[in-house]
Amino acid sequence: MKFEVISTNLEEVKSDSVVIQFFEGTEFPESVLTLPESIRGEIASPIEAGGFKAKLGQVLPVYPKSVGPVRCFLLVGLGKKQDFSLEAIRQAHGYAALKAKEIGSSSVAVPIPNLPPYSAPEIVASVVEAVNLAFYRFDRYKSKVEDSKYPELISLVVEPDVKTLCDTAAQEAVIVSEAVKLARDIANMPSSDIPPKKLAEIATEVGAASGFSTKVFEMEVLERMGMGGIVGVGKGSSNPPVLIVMKYDGGGDTYAVVGKGVIFDSGGISIKPSEKMEEMKYDKSGAAAVIALMKAVAELKLPVRLIGIVPAVENLPSGNALKPGDIIKFRNGKTAEIISTDAEGRLILADALAYASEMKPKALIDLATLTGACVIALGTHASGLFSNNDRLADALIKAGEKTGERLWRLPLWKEYFEQIKSEVADMKNVGGRPAGAITAAAFLMNFVDSGIPWAHIDIAGTAWTQESSPEKSYIPKGATGIGVRLLIEFLKSEIKGG
């Protein structure tokens, strides 16, 4: 599938299908006014008959009787104008893309409307992301793959004065959405095919292709480095743990991003219930997002220095596995009493955060499917945000609103740190059921050097589609790839100076 940006009147477009966007209860958009009156009448007919209300995501094909290059007009609802956002653009055009595929369109034209406060390049990027991601399917393990064809060409119709900017926006959106698809692929893969060492190989291959370096630390080195959390969790599996360190140097400020890479989480000795345990292949979603983020940043050639760190382990029960009551020592010298081996993500992140802190980044962010408690608190509609820095938190929240990957900030008051105090070590790895997502974040904060702006993003409710997940046209069932678009937007805002 190819995306192109063109400047022309809608009546001159020769695409198989043409998208026409409507708000609820409004008149024809400006783009339609250039069409012949007979065509406008055919488009108006289902609206007047009440068959098209322009609800967000509603798509109605209209086949004109007149002979011409356009076989079908796709009427697309943007919902209520007062509720309009870039997320509405993504939702609407994702559904339009799926309908175009359903009716067999080989090419689709999308007029880019003038909809302040959003610029044409922003709308172009949102359309491209939505269309590219709506067509994603994880079908590599199916013996028979759906053979229906996708549109070969998506033409984005813009005004001449913004064509160059829109060209750039479209190209960048393709890069970002392809990175999201990589994150989905990694997260969707069964653990049998992607043990820690294989994940490291994937990161290395992606780095070689995209333009960042990769270094992999294996068990013996991790032991010498004092990575007690990674070693402790990983020693229960026959597939040893690794620490993947990726570096991209585009000049500018240094940022570090850490992704939880639990390839599969059985809970260890504190084993999980069997129901839905198959979903624990998604416990590597933070790692998937960080590898994909490195790919996107390198291919976009953003003027930043970015360090991506992924501690990769399998959390399994065995004679060598970590046990409740054990005490482990981390990279920064702090110790933790193990209350539950099912609270393993924070143990591997602790070492990774301590290691990242040594590099003194301008900001340090971690992404992790960390706690079921966060799902209870926020459901599947937002990721939990915890931070020691208001400016960083605000910038991430703003990026989340723009990308549709919403964040909700939760507190880190000193009372929560009291819950994880231990009688025999510096801390416990769990603080009980109350405020479980917060005490997990409090645990992590012990491994970030003071003075480094840090944010923890708990994506347990948003990393894969669950029963209560909101339906989104550009997110099929399975891994969502969350975090990639969010952090690209955050880094771009940092480059612009907020």
- Supply the residues annotated as catalytic: 272, 346
Cβ proximity of 283 and 267 under 8 Å: no
249: Cβ–Cβ under 8 A, 6 or more apart, which residues? 305
- Ramachandran sector of residue 144 (left: φ over 0; alpha: ψ -120 to 50; beta: rest): beta
- Angle subtended at Cα 159 by Cα 154 and Cα 165, rounded to the nearest 5 degrees: 75
Alpha helices for 278-319 (secondary structure H): 285-300
**Residues 189 and 198: beta-carbon distance below 8 Å:** no
Nearest one of 484, 408, 492 to 136, comparing CA atoms: 484
Q: Provide the residue count of the chain.
A: 498
- DSSP reduced 3-state for 130: helix
* Cβ atoms 93, 110 nearer than 8 A: yes
Note the Cα 477 to chain centre separation in Å. Answer: 14
* Residue type at 334 in one-letter notation: K
- How many C-beta atoms surround the C-beta of residue 332 within 10 A? 17
CA end-to-end span of the chain: 34
Q: Cα 18 from chain centroid?
A: 29
Using alpha carbons, select from 278, 261, 246, 247 the residue that is nearest to residue 196: 261
**Quick one: which H or E segment has residue 387?**
strand 383-387
Nearest Cα neighbor of 244 from 356, 339, 154 is 356
Distance, in Å, from the CA atom of 231 to the CA atom of 311, rounded to the nearest integer, reads: 10
Residue for token digits 């033409």?
155
Distance CA 234, CA 200 (A): 15
